[in-house]
Amino acid sequence: MEYFRRTNSFFAAAFVLLLAVGLMAPNWFSYLTTISLAKALVVIGLVILLRAGLVSFGQGLYYCLGGYSVGIAGHYLQWTDGFLVLLIAMVVSGIVAAILGLLLCRYREIFFAMLTMAFSMILYGILVKSVGLGSTDGFNIHSVSFFGWEPGTDKLGLIVYFLACLAALIVAVLMHRYFHSPVGFAGEAIRENEIRVEYLGVSPNRIIFSKYILAAVLAGAGGGLTALASGHVDPEMAYWTTSGEFVFVALLSGTAHVAAVFIAAFLFEIIRTYAFDLAPYNWQMILGATLLLIIFFLPKGLWSIFTIRRAGGGVK
């Protein structure tokens, strides 16, 4: 469709570029990119909520659920197909979100943020106490197959990288359309003025409910991909610092464009890797300083570098 052609060609070009990079880049680089693509999926969900004026400090809940779903499916049910386990991760996250969402869609602002964090910490608590799932150590993921074909351990990293690129492409195209759709704009409308939305015949709670589920499904996919790439899951995935990391990336990217999220997630992984290298004991300080710089100079996130401010103008 004409409306999205330019952005879609951009996404397609980025996808081809990523595939090419994957074939040439060293393993550590493609691993880092896989993880950042996976986390970007989670952050896109967070951005969907942010656009509706809600901050979730508990996306780690679904990130972790996605990871554990993949692990449990392979470990206990012997389901190893990569596409199937990712689908399971998304479905499980979606179902849990549909239950919690019934409560959460009535809350806003700090109450929403705290409740989402509380739910993710409950999962963390349960997993830490679950000896059968490895307690604080978590457990390793069975190697996966794709339609019956099992890539060896040497090739698995690259295959998961391609899978992450494909998932990123699909999500980017669909979510870019979503941002520009009536439901996407309804989110912004809710952030700005719920009373008006209600008087336009639409239920803000229902819209938020649907967005919460969508965000959870994306976080589940991100968690599942992370589990496949790292070959391991542990309760840290649900810990509040993990959720905080997603919020960090969302602030870095801003809510203006889907592409910004991927760039921000990649930058975040790079900054963290090098920060850890430079200052093994104080790397958080470097991340903190980065966040401060972003808040001071790019309060609307990375994408504001590319857009011209339209505020105040426009009267012909």
Q: Which residues bind another protein (CB under 8 A)?
A: 1, 3-4, 174, 177-178, 180-186, 188-189, 192-193, 195-203, 207, 310-316
Cα distances (angstroms) measured from residue 307 to each of 130, 202, 248, 257, 310? 48, 31, 21, 10, 9
Q: Which is nearer to another protein, 27 or 193 (CB)?
A: 193
Q: How far apart are CA 86 and CA 38, in angstroms?
A: 12
Cα distances (angstroms) measured from residue 241 to each of 41, 70, 72, 180, 288? 17, 22, 24, 31, 13
Q: Which is nearer to another protein, 171 or 233 (CB)?
A: 171
Shortest distance (Å) from residue 30 CB to another protein: 31
289: number of CA atoms within 13 Å, CB side? 8
Shortest distance (Å) from residue 208 CB to another protein: 13
Shortest distance (Å) from residue 295 CB to another protein: 19
Q: Which is nearer to another protein, 251 or 265 (CB)?
A: 251
Shortest distance (Å) from residue 158 CB to another protein: 32
Count of beta carbons in the 10 Å neighbourhood of residue 122:
13
Shortest distance (Å) from residue 206 CB to another protein: 10
Q: Which is nearer to another protein, 132 or 313 (CB)?
A: 313
Q: Which is nearer to another protein, 202 or 291 (CB)?
A: 202
Q: Supply the Cα-derived Rg of the chain in whole angstroms.
A: 19
Q: Which is nearer to another protein, 127 or 218 (CB)?
A: 218
Shortest distance (Å) from residue 210 CB to another protein: 8
Q: Which is nearer to another protein, 3 or 147 (CB)?
A: 3
Amino acid letter, 295: I
Q: Where are the alpha helices (DSSP H) in 77-148?
A: 82-104, 109-129
Tell me if residue 140 falls in helix, strand or coil.
strand
Shortest distance (Å) from residue 311 CB to another protein: 5
Q: How far apart are CA 94 and CA 214, in angstroms?
A: 7
* DSSP for 27-74, written as a single string: HHHHHHHHHHHHHHHHHHHHHHHHHTT---S-THHHHHHHHHHHHHHH
